[in-house]
Amino acid sequence: MRVVLCEKPSQAADVAKVIGATNRGQGCFTGPGLAVTYCIGHLMENAAPEDYGDRYKKWSLEDLPIIPSEWKMKAKPKTQSQLKTVKALLDKAKELVIATDPDREGELIAWEVIEHCGYKGPTLRMHLSALNQAAIKKAWANLRPASETINQYYSALARGRGDWLVGMNMSRLFTLLGAQAGYQGVLSIGRVQTPTLRIVVDRDRTIENFVAKPYWDLSVTLSHNKATFTAKWLPASAMDEQGRCSSEQAARQAEAAVLNTGVARVSAVATERVVEAAPLPFSLGDLQQACSAKLGLGAQQTLDIAQSLYETHKATTYPRADNGYLDESMHSEVPQIFAAMVRTDPSVATLVGRLDPQVKSRAWNSAKVTAHHGIIPTIEPANIERMSEREASVYRLIRAHFLAQFLPAHEYDKTIVQLTIADQEFKASGRLQQVVGWKAVMTDQGAKANEEAAGQEEAGQSSAQVLPDLVEGDRPKVIAAAGEKMMTTPPKHMTEGDLIKAMKGAAKLVSDPRLKQKLRDTVGIGTEATRAGIIETLLERGFIVKKGRTLRATDAAFTLIDSAPEALTNPGMTAVWEQALTMVEEGTMGLDDFVSRQSTWITQMVTKYSSTKMSFKLEPSPPCPVCQGQMRRRPGKTGPFWSCMTYPDCNGTISIEQKSKKSVSKRKPNRKAAAAS
């Protein structure tokens, strides 16, 4: 029997339908000599420290570093029944086809199960970049030896073991150091989590240390052929590093001279046609940024809604897309997608009727599609009335970006006019729309483009003004001049969308050219699938808090970032790891070599930082209701709680909400959760 191993149930259903496994079984689909089964993501996970010995149940500096001599994996409790199904099928298999996502993580999901089940037979690889019939048929007809991509598995295994070494050891180390300073919580550290936290800490620190400085602005209103427009002053002296006037006297003198002269002279006029292509369909990160800015949604909220649109409503495609490009083989399905959108929401019928489904935008590029194509509406109609208000809003955003692919480019003329008034230079900017193009569909859908239109406000001047016809030598009259004292402003606190963007663009935070390029190649720190979870983890563990739509670092976060090794707070660490992981994937570095190097490095880090002194603004803790000893604040599934410092010897806990009632609970906190991802 040939067994096909997919990553998710929905993926297995799509593949099974195409290759002839039409009978639904328990955890699988079957057909003549064929079975298609699935993993529900990871069915296996790394063993926890306590699985390597009872001594590790209690956290102790003397037991660090923890470095397994033989690495253990264990089945995830919630999906053990599916693992049994997969094992039963693999026990009967004469040939296995791996059909998980064609990336490092997909290889790991498949091979960790294969190794656990002890399957040793022939193994092939099916490369799926899309889940439409044409793409599945093509992939099924072009199976390749699994040996061609197995190094991706070793690379993923190396990353997982390296992350375990960092998370388990450094989290325990700094939690214990924090406890010595009286801190009541878990201080988790992770290769992705910690540099992400530093991004928020650095922004907050920049805002906290910002010193406002004055500068002076001068705006002039002019008239020409009965039309008025404004121009901004370009100071020639007394400028700060941003080119703004830092001298009130210079600004007042310029204002007086302009009013006294009363006439400007046009010294140059330049007009260019700006052509804006439609924004690509959404990747998950771009969708999270857009939903944060337009709808005020958090990263995890957006992911949950996108998952619901995909799984529950069948309205949009797989949400964890890492780019917005589309497979060219899917273009033939556009008329079906259009029809499904109209049936989903009849209000778009007129709009869709104006579009040409034969148009191919830059989004249709198979070469740029990676594990998943951009998020778009499906060929199956849904019912928008059954969606929540937020689900419908996110669906409309996704729909608008797809429909934009079938409209012309947005075009406008941008004009820059240089003027001289009393030996002072001024600039007026204007724009005149020529072709609405794809922006019409964004307006129709109540959504704006992801990127702001070119010609944004410059030095406070609206780029939306339409300038009169001007040519060099014209002499418009000065109607008014208004000088104004301004103050520099600090950057804004980050929203979740801003943080997602910063994680994707982490290359900007690194100075080393090689590391900068590596971060660009890997699209920053974290992945589309993990970034929302990282932010949620930071929130749950009390390192960041929400204030309105913005994120703020807590005192504990500042202390942790200041105390932790620079190598673990700098995004460049991820780039260094990616270089080594690429070497593992290419076969130029072995898995054992990578893990050995990480083990040596962790040992050095533990030795170097084990005597670190930390200082916190402490929240007073209540006495343990069982032994009257000191308690520590910990994160929990239902919220933070106090746990006895002597756990597991004493299991006393107090809910934060019930602190005043001194309620006692015997449940044991999840110590393993302290490890960072």
Q: Degrees (nearest 5) of the Cα angle 609, 567, 517?
A: 175
Compute how many other C-beta atoms are within 10 angstroms of the C-beta atom of residue 573.
21
Residue 37 has what DSSP assignment? E
Confidence at residue 129, expressed as pLDDT on a 0 to 100 scale: 65
Tell me the CATH number at 261: 2.70.20.10
Confidence at residue 618, expressed as pLDDT on a 0 to 100 scale: 64
DSSP code string of 292-334 = HHHH---HHHHHHHHHHHHHTS--B--S--SS--B-GGGGGGH
pLDDT, tens digit, 9 for 90 and up, residues 506-538: 888 877 788 778 777 777 888 887 899 999 999
Token pair for 443: 């307006």
Confidence at residue 478, expressed as pLDDT on a 0 to 100 scale: 96
Residue 438 lies in a domain: no
Residue 448 lies in a domain: no
Which is more confident, 10 or 86? 86
Same domain, 327 and 377: yes
Same domain, 63 and 126: yes
Residue 493 has what DSSP assignment? P
Same domain, 399 and 308: yes
Residue 446 lies in a domain: no
How does residue 387 score in pLDDT terms, banded at 50, 70 and 90?
Answer: very high
Same domain, 60 and 119: yes
Helix (H) or strand (E) holding 124, with range, is strand 123-125
How does residue 458 score in pLDDT terms, banded at 50, 70 and 90?
Answer: very low
Top-confidence range, 5-14, 273-282, 502-511, 565-574: 273-282
Q: Are 288 and 321 spatial neighbours (Cβ–Cβ below 8 Å)?
A: no
Q: Are strands 631-634 and 28-31 parallel, antiparallel or unpaired?
A: unpaired
Residue 252 lies in a domain: yes
- Cα separation of 176 and 671, whole Å? 13
Tell me the CATH number at 505: 1.10.460.10
- Cα separation of 655 and 643, whole Å? 9
Strand order in the sheet with 653-655: 631-634, 641-644, 653-655
Same domain, 560 and 504: yes
* Residue 415, beta-bridge partner list: 271, 430
How does residue 661 score in pLDDT terms, banded at 50, 70 and 90?
Answer: very low
- Cα separation of 4 and 114, whole Å? 12
> In 522-590, where does DSSP find H-type helix?
531-540, 555-563, 566-569, 572-586
How does residue 445 score in pLDDT terms, banded at 50, 70 and 90?
Answer: very low
* pLDDT of 669 over the 50 cut: no
Residue 169 lies in a domain: yes
* Residue 246, beta-bridge partner list: none
Domain that holds residue 581: 158-209+493-609
Residue at a domain's end among 372, 406, 440: 406
Residue 476 has what DSSP assignment? P
Number of folded domains that form the chain: 5
The SS3 call for residue 482 is: strand
Same domain, 344 and 369: yes
Same domain, 329 and 379: yes
When mean pLDDT is compared across 343-357, 361-375, 558-572, 632-646, the lowest value belongs to 632-646
How does residue 313 score in pLDDT terms, banded at 50, 70 and 90?
Answer: confident
Same domain, 103 and 197: no
Residue with tokens 């193994």: 123
Same domain, 139 and 45: yes
Tell me the CATH number at 322: 1.10.290.10
Confidence at residue 448, expressed as pLDDT on a 0 to 100 scale: 36
Same domain, 122 and 18: yes
Compute how many other C-beta atoms are within 10 angstroms of the C-beta atom of residue 24.
11
Residue 450 lies in a domain: no
Same domain, 22 and 139: yes
* pLDDT of 369 over the 60 cut: yes
Q: What is the mean pLDDT of the chain?
A: 88
Confidence at residue 666, expressed as pLDDT on a 0 to 100 scale: 34
pLDDT, tens digit, 9 for 90 and up, residues 192-227: 999 999 999 999 999 999 999 999 999 999 999 999
- For the chain, the C-alpha Rg in angstroms (whole number) is 30
* pLDDT of 559 over the 60 cut: yes
- Cα separation of 244 and 215, whole Å? 6
Same domain, 464 and 511: no
Residue 268 lies in a domain: yes
Angle at which helices 284-295 and 531-540 cross, to 10°: 50
Residue 194 lies in a domain: yes
Mean pLDDT (whole number) for 163-184: 92
Return the active site residues.
Answer: 318
pTM: 0.82
- Cα separation of 598 and 45, whole Å? 20
